[in-house]
Amino acid sequence: MSETVSPLAPKKQPRMPAIEGVRIATAQAGIKYKGRTDLLAMVFDEGTTVAGVFTRSKCPSAPVDFCRQNLAGGRARALIVNSGNANAFTGKRGRESTALTAKAAAKAAGCGEGEVFLASTGVIGEPLDTTKFAHLLDGMVAGAGADGWAEAGRAIMTTDTYPKYATARVLLGETEVTINGIAKGAGMIAPDMATMLSFIATDAPIDAPVLQDLLSKGTGKTFNAVTVDSDTSTSDTLILFATGAAARRGAPRITEAKDTRLSAFRRALNRILKNLALQVVRDGEGARKQVEVTVTGAKSARSAKRVALSIANSPLVKTAVAGEDANWGRIVMAVGKAGEPADRDLLGIWFGDIRVAHEGERDPAYSEAATSAYMKRDEIAIRVDLGLGRGKATVWTCDLTKEYVAINGDYRS
Amino acid sequence: MSETVSPLAPKKQPRMPAIEGVRIATAQAGIKYKGRTDLLAMVFDEGTTVAGVFTRSKCPSAPVDFCRQNLAGGRARALIVNSGNANAFTGKRGRESTALTAKAAAKAAGCGEGEVFLASTGVIGEPLDTTKFAHLLDGMVAGAGADGWAEAGRAIMTTDTYPKYATARVLLGETEVTINGIAKGAGMIAPDMATMLSFIATDAPIDAPVLQDLLSKGTGKTFNAVTVDSDTSTSDTLILFATGAAARRGAPRITEAKDTRLSAFRRALNRILKNLALQVVRDGEGARKQVEVTVTGAKSARSAKRVALSIANSPLVKTAVAGEDANWGRIVMAVGKAGEPADRDLLGIWFGDIRVAHEGERDPAYSEAATSAYMKRDEIAIRVDLGLGRGKATVWTCDLTKEYVAINGDYRS
C-alpha cells in the first residue's frame, strides 16, 4: 500500500452488500507486510459454481497452475488469497506450498481440495512459507461473516494506492440478484507484486459452463483491454463464483449461455468487469491521467484492438500524454509499427473532439491552443480512424510518468 | 543536439579517412535549427552502386517511399539529408517536397533523379519547405570535398548527444579498401526526431544485388537487434554506397554474394554496423547503462530473438536496471509474456557471470552482494537459458530512466 493515493482514485467507494452463500474472513499473517491484513479467506456454500481466466504467461505462478486444474470440476467452496509473496518461479517448493495450503483450506471448509482456489500476489522467486498462515485457516473459516467485502479488498492490496470495489443489483428472471467484485493491481502489471487479481461473487444460480462463457467473453473488452506498461504478469487471476443462493428466493437456474433471461445479468457483470479494470488503470503506477484509445475504420475488430494496444503501449505516446503534449506524430508512429493494415494517407486522428490530423496530413483547421487546453484534463480520449473498414476497438491505459520509473527502479532493493 | 553528452559516449572518436569516389558538403539551411549545420550532400562518382534497408512502419515518411523506389535501379550519384524536419505524415505535400529536392539534386550533380537518395529527420507532420535549401545544392555539390565525414556526422544529428562514426580498412582480394559509416539516433526511435539514419560508403567495387545481400543480412544481428523503447520510427533509413573506385588500384569487382574474397569485407562491414548500432543505444534518450540481452537454449534463433526483445523492451526490466536492481523476477515475467516456447522449470538466468536462477528457482548459491556490485557497472549483460534447444540471439538496449520520461514528456510543447 502506498502512502499517496492516486489522484485518479474514485471520489467515493461503494457500500458492498453481503452476497448470500459467501462468508469472508481476513487475517494478519505477517507473510511480508506488518500491521495490515495479508490473508483472505472466502467460503462458499455447497453448490457454488466457478469460472476463471488467467494470465497467458508461459511462466505462470504455482497458484495459477493449481486453479486451472481445479477449474475443470466447476465447483468452489473456498478461496484463499495471500499478499506479500507471489509463489511464482518457486519450482517444486511452489507446488508444495499450493498443495499444503489447499489441504489446510479443504480441512477447514470441510470440502475436497478440488473445490479450493488459491491466489498469491507479491514478490516473485521467494518460497512461500505456508507455516506462516496455514494454521490460521481453521479459525478464519469458523469466524467468517457475510460483511467482510471492504476488508477483503484491502487484504489483497500490494502497491495499490486504494482498494477496488464494484457492486450491482440486477434482475435474473424476476428475482433480484447481487454481484460483488474486488480487484488489486497497480500497473496492469507489476510482476514483483504479481499483478492483477480480481474476485467476483454472485448469488445467481448459473451453471459453471455458462459462467465461464460469461466471464471469457466479458474480459475481452474489459480486463483484456487495459494496459499500464505492456508487461504481462505471471499471476493474473480473475475468478467468478456463483453461489446460487438466490434460487431459494425464486431465481431461475441458468443452464445455457443463450438463455435470454441472462441479458441484464451479462450487462451488469460486464459493467463490473469494466469498472474494476478501469480502477486498475487509474491506480497505474505513477499514473496522473487515464487514457482511452479508440480505433475505428480498421479491417477487423481484432486489427483495431492491435492498433489500439500499439498506441496504448507506446512509451512515446504515454510520455507525451504525461507532458500534456498532443503529439499526434507519435500516434502515427504507433499506428505504423503495429503491423496491421493502415494507409498513411487515409488516417484521421482526434484528441477528444478535436481533429488534429485528416487524410494523412495535419488538419489545417486544428487549433493548438484548444488542444493544449484539452490535454490538461485528467481523462484523455484519443481516437484514430484508419479509413479502411468497420473494425473498432477501445482500450484504456494511463500516462507514463517519472514516478513510474521511480516506483519500478527503486522497488525491490 | 543536447548540451549534456551521454555518459556512455565513446571516449574517443575515430579519424575518418576519405573514401575515393565520395565528396561531401554540409550547410546551415536554417530548416529548424539555428547556428548549426542541418543539410548534408554526398556526391558519388559514376558507377556507384547502392543498397538500403528501411523502416517496417506502415506509415513511412515521404523520403523512405522515394528511396525504396530508386533502390530498384541500384545506382547512386547523390544523397541529400536534412535534419529538423522528417517530412513524415505530410501527405501530398511530402511527395512534392521529395520531388523538388530530387530535381534540384539531380541538376546539381548532373545525374538522373533515379540516382538521388533522400533522408529527412526531425518533427513529424510539418511540411518540409524546400525553398529553404534547394537553392543551396548547386553550390554544395560544386564545393564538396573528400574530407567532410566528421562534419557529415554532425549535420544529421537531432536529439543525439554525440555524432556517431565508424571506419575500417580491409582487404578485398589483395587490395585495401575502406568502409566509413555515420549514424544518428537517440532512442532507437524518437519519432518526432524521426529516428535512426545511417549512411555507409566504401570504395570497394561491389554489384548492387551483392551489396543488398550484405546489408540485409548484416542488419539482423546489428541495427535490427537494438532497441531503446520498442517504438519504430516512420523514417529509419540505412543506405550503403559502393563507389568501386578501388578497382583502379586493383580491387576485384564482386558480382556474387558467395564470392569468398568477400569474407573479410563482410566481417568488417558487420563490425561497422554493430559499432554504429551500439552507439545509437548508448545515446538512448536518458540512458545511463548499456544492456546486452542474450537468450540461449531456445527452440530456434527466431524464437530466441523474440524472447530477447521481450526482455529488452520491458519497461519493468529497464527501470530495474536503471535502479541497479538485479530483479530477475521481471526477467521471468518478460520470458513468460513473449509467447514463445518456454518452460518455467528449466529457466536459468545470469547477470554477468552470476547465476541468479536455475531450473525455475532462485539459485541457492547466488550472492546478493556480488550481484548488487555487478549492477553498478555501466554495461550490464543479462543471459537467459531456456533449456529447450539450440536457438540463440543477442540484442542490445539501454535502461529506462526518469530522464527518458522528461525528454519525451517535454519535447514538442
**What pLDDT does A1 receive?**
41
Q: Is A413–B372 a contact, with Cβ atoms under 8 angstroms apart?
A: yes
Strands (E), B22-123: 22-27, 39-44, 49-54, 78-85, 116-123
Q: How far apart are CA B92 and CA B82, in angstroms?
A: 19
> A247-251, B71-75, B320-324: lowest mean pLDDT where?
B320-324
Q: Is the dihedral of CA A333, A339, A345, A347 positive or negative?
A: negative
ipTM: 0.72
Residue A341, chain B, CB below 8 Å: the answer is yes
Q: How far apart are CA B212 and CA B240, in angstroms?
A: 8
Q: Which of B275, B293, B289, B398 is nearest to B7 (CA)?
A: B289
Q: How far apart are CA B123 and CA B83, in angstroms?
A: 9
Residue A356: which H helix or E strand, with range?
strand A354-358
Q: Is B340 left (phi over 0), alpha (psi -120 to 50) or beta?
A: beta
Determine phi and psi for B152, rounding to 5 degrees: -60, -45
**What pLDDT does B230 receive?**
62
Q: Is A45 left (phi over 0), alpha (psi -120 to 50) or beta?
A: beta
> Which residues of A fall within a CB distance of 8 Å from B128?
none
Q: Is the dihedral of CA A27, A30, A35, A36 positive or negative?
A: negative
Q: How far apart are CA B361 and CA A324, in angstroms?
A: 43
Q: Is A229–B402 a contact, with Cβ atoms under 8 angstroms apart?
A: no
Q: How far apart are CA B159 and CA B237, in angstroms?
A: 17
Q: Measured in whole angstroms, how far is the alpha carbon of residue A355 from the centre of its chain? A: 32
Determine phi and psi for B222, rounding to 5 degrees: -125, -95
Nearest CA in chain A to B230: A314
**What pLDDT does B368 receive?**
87
Question: Exposed (0-12), middle (13-18) or buried (19+): which is B116, by Cβ within 10 Å?
Answer: buried
Q: Which of A90, A93, A333, A404 should we substitute to test contact with B (largest number of B Cβ atoms within 10 Å)?
A: A333
**What pLDDT does B66 receive?**
96
**What pLDDT does A283 receive?**
86
**What pLDDT does B232 receive?**
66
> Which residues of A fall within a CB distance of 8 Å from B86?
329
Q: Which of B348, B340, B329, B293 is nearest to A56 (CA)?
A: B340
Strand partners, A136: none
Q: Is B329–A230 a contact, with Cβ atoms under 8 angstroms apart?
A: no
Q: Is A122 left (phi over 0), alpha (psi -120 to 50) or beta?
A: left
Partner residue facing A323 (CB), from B126, B314, B410 = B410
Strands (E), B159-236: 164-172, 175-184, 197-202
* Statement: residue B193 has pLDDT above 60: no
Q: Is the dihedral of CA B63, B65, B68, B70 positive or negative?
A: negative
> A139-148, A297-306, B27-36, B396-405: lowest mean pLDDT where?
B396-405
> How much of chain B, in percent, has pLDDT values that exceed 90?
67
Residue B68, chain A, CB below 8 Å: the answer is no
Reduced to 3 states, what is the DSSP secondary structure of residue A25?
strand
pLDDT 10s digits, A299-339: 999 999 999 999 998 888 998 999 999 988 889 888 988 88
- A282 near A290, Cβ under 8 Å? yes
Q: Is A191–B332 a contact, with Cβ atoms under 8 angstroms apart?
A: yes
Reduced to 3 states, what is the DSSP secondary structure of residue A27?
strand
| Chain A / chain B CB contacts < 8 angstroms | 251
Nearest CA in chain A to B324: A409
Partner residue facing A315 (CB), from B231, B338, B340 = B231
Residue A395: which H helix or E strand, with range?
strand A391-398
**What pLDDT does B3 receive?**
57
Residue A68, chain B, CB below 8 Å: the answer is no
Q: Which of B102-106, B156-160, B272-276 tops mean pLDDT?
A: B102-106
Q: What is the DSSP string of A176-220?
A: EEEEEEEEE-SSS--GGGT--EEEEEE---B-HHHHHHHHHHHHH
**What pLDDT does A412 receive?**
45
Gap from B409 CA to chain A (nearest CA, Å): 4
Residues 91-150 of A with CB under 8 A from B: 91-93, 123-126
Please report, for residues A38, A133, B61, the alpha-carbon distance to residue A157 in angstroms, rounded to integers and kept in the order given. Answer: 8, 17, 46
> A91-100, B23-32, B120-129, B291-300: lowest mean pLDDT where?
B120-129
Strand partners, A89: none
For the sheet containing B237-242, what is the strand order? B49-54, B237-242, B197-202, B175-184, B164-172
Q: Is B412–A92 a contact, with Cβ atoms under 8 angstroms apart?
A: no
Q: How far apart are CA B203 and CA B332, in angstroms?
A: 47
Active-site option among B49, B159, B195, B227: B195
> Which residues of A fall within a CB distance of 8 Å from B333?
57, 59, 124, 189, 191, 231-234
Interaxial angle between packed helices A328-337 and A301-312, expressed in degrees from 0 to 180 and rounded to the nearest 10: 130
| B102 grid coordinates | 530530387
Q: Which of A53, A390, A406, A296 is nearest to B405 (CA)?
A: A406
Partner residue facing B408 (CB), from A91, A319, A359 = A319
- Position A3 confidence tier, pLDDT thresholds 50, 70, 90: low
- A396 near A292, Cβ under 8 Å? yes
Gap from A303 CA to chain B (nearest CA, Å): 14
> A187-191, A307-311, B111-115: lowest mean pLDDT where?
A187-191
> Which residues of B fall within a CB distance of 8 Å from A123?
329
Nearest CA in chain B to A189: B316
Residue A90, chain B, CB below 8 Å: the answer is yes
Average pLDDT over residues B178-204: 76
Partner residue facing A316 (CB), from B229, B323, B401 = B229
Q: Which of A177, A187, A149 is nearest to A165 (CA)?
A: A149
**What pLDDT does A194 receive?**
41
Q: Is B336–A232 a contact, with Cβ atoms under 8 angstroms apart?
A: yes
- B233 near B285, Cβ under 8 Å? no
**A252 versus A5: which is more confidently predicted?**
A252
Q: How far apart are CA B278 and CA B185, in angstroms?
A: 11
Question: Exposed (0-12), middle (13-18) or buried (19+): which is B110, by Cβ within 10 Å?
Answer: exposed
Q: How far apart are CA B241 and CA B235, in angstroms?
A: 19
Gap from A11 CA to chain B (nearest CA, Å): 28
Residue A328, chain B, CB below 8 Å: the answer is yes
Nearest CA in chain B to A339: B58
pTM given for the model? 0.80
Catalytic residues of A: 195
- A58 near B342, Cβ under 8 Å? yes
- Position B223 confidence tier, pLDDT thresholds 50, 70, 90: confident
> Which residues of A fall within a CB distance of 8 Å from B89?
329, 332, 344, 347, 357, 360-362
Beta carbons within 10 angstroms of residue B276's beta carbon: 25
Q: How far apart are CA A125 and CA A120, in angstroms?
A: 12
Q: Which residues contact A97 (CB under 8 A, 6 or more apart)?
A: A62, A87, A90, A127, A128, A129, A130
Q: Which residue type does A363 have?
A: D
Strands (E), B175-316: 175-184, 197-202, 237-242, 290-298
Residue A88, chain B, CB below 8 Å: the answer is yes
- A226 near A393, Cβ under 8 Å? no
Q: What is the DSSP string of B302-358?
A: HHHHHHHHHHHH-HHHHHHHHTT---HHHHHHHHHHT-S---GGG-EEEETTEEEEE
Q: Which of B410, B382, B378, B383 is nearest to B6 (CA)?
A: B378
Residue B394, chain A, CB below 8 Å: the answer is no
According to DSSP, residue A329 is labeled: H
* Statement: residue A191 has pLDDT above 50: no
Nearest CA in chain B to A359: B91
- A396 near A226, Cβ under 8 Å? yes
Q: Is the dihedral of CA B372, B376, B380, B381 positive or negative?
A: negative
The residue behind cell 491484513 is: A37
Average pLDDT over residues A113-141: 94
* Statement: residue A234 has pLDDT above 50: yes
Q: How far apart are CA B336 and CA A282, in angstroms?
A: 25
**What pLDDT does A242 receive?**
97
Strand partners, A80: A41, A118
pLDDT 10s digits, B266-297: 999 999 999 998 888 888 778 899 999 999 99
> Which residues of A fall within a CB distance of 8 Å from B126?
362
Gap from A339 CA to chain B (nearest CA, Å): 7
Q: Is A409–B314 a contact, with Cβ atoms under 8 angstroms apart?
A: no
Partner residue facing A234 (CB), from B90, B332, B404 = B332
Gap from A257 CA to chain B (nearest CA, Å): 30
**What pLDDT does B360 receive?**
81
Reduced to 3 states, what is the DSSP secondary structure of residue A373?
helix
Residues 357-376 of B with CB under 8 A from A: 357, 359-362, 372
Average pLDDT over residues A69-84: 96
Determine phi and psi for B182, rounding to 5 degrees: -130, 155
> Which residues of B fall within a CB distance of 8 Å from A345?
91
Gap from B330 CA to chain A (nearest CA, Å): 6
Q: Using alpha carbons only, give the angle B231, B235, B238 rounded to the nearest 5 degrees.
A: 105
- B153 near B276, Cβ under 8 Å? no
Partner residue facing A410 (CB), from B92, B125, B323 = B323
* Statement: residue B229 has pLDDT above 70: no
**Overall residue count recorded for chain B in this entry:** 413
Please report, for residues B130, B334, B398, the alpha-carbon distance to residue B290 in angstroms, rounded to integers and kept in the order given. Answer: 38, 18, 5
Partner residue facing A320 (CB), from B337, B400, B409 = B409
Q: Which of A316, A355, A366, A372 should we substitute to test contact with B (largest number of B Cβ atoms within 10 Å)?
A: A316
- Position B150 confidence tier, pLDDT thresholds 50, 70, 90: very high
Q: Which of A209, A152, A392, A211 is nearest to A294 (CA)?
A: A392
Question: Exposed (0-12), middle (13-18) or buried (19+): which is A134, by Cβ within 10 Å?
Answer: buried
